[in-house]
């Protein structure tokens, strides 16, 4: 019996979140809070980033902010309506504000951040056209954060 795979794509949310996890691992190895982000346009990764607040001595050097800057430079455009951000942890309010201004089309995150995540204030903090998905590779994303902070204690 043949299985029709014509509608399937290797470019799934899981596939791209695994790429964001690779970025988060880089942060972990650099003693940064292990958050990784990528931005995708037309199934192509156009930006990769991870937290660099310690390295750059910059509290705004979150993975999402660095990824937005990289993506807008790549596209030579101010807005990202046809792009998807994959990020291992729910963005904070600062990053959600930047995502609002970038008019990103879609945000996909893995682990919740109950203390600092933007969803404490609701999806309305993002641009009205931005779609949100969450829980993609939740276990893997959560474990990386848990392991990082376990080592710190």
Determine the Cα–Cα distance for residues 109 and 91; give it in Å rounded to an integer.
8
The predicted model scores a pTM of: 0.92
At residue 19, the pLDDT reads: 97
At residue 86, the pLDDT reads: 98
- Total residue count of the chain as it appears in this document: 153
At residue 151, the pLDDT reads: 80
Q: Please, what are the averages of pLDDT over each run of 10 residues along the chain (153 residues)?
A: 50 95 97 97 97 97 98 98 98 98 98 95 95 97 93 75
Among the options 23, 29, 32, 64, which is catalytic?
64
- 68, two tokens: 């937005």
At residue 2, the pLDDT reads: 45
Whether residue 140 lies in the annotated active site: no
At residue 4, the pLDDT reads: 44
Burial category of 65 from C-beta neighbours within 10 Å (exposed 0-12, middle 13-18, buried 19 and up)? buried
């Amino acid at each position: 019996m043949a299985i029709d795979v014509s509608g399937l794509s290797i470019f799934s949310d899981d596939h791209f979140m695994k790429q964001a996890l690779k970025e988060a691992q880089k942060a972990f190895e650099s003693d940064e809070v292990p958050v990784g982000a990528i931005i995708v346009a037309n199934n192509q990764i156009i930006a990769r980033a991870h937290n660099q607040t310690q390295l750059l001595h910059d509290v705004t050097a979150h993975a999402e902010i660095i990824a937005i800057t990289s993506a807008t430079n790549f596209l030579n455009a101010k807005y990202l309506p046809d792009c998807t951000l994959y990020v291992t942890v729910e963005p904070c309010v600062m990053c959600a504000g930047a995502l609002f201004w970038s008019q990103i089309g879609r945000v996909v995150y893995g682990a919740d951040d109950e203390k600092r995540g933007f969803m404490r204030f609701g999806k309305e903090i993002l641009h009205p056209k931005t779609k949100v998905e969450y829980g993609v590779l939740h276990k893997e994303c959560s474990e990386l954060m848990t392991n990082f902070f376990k080592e710190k204690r």
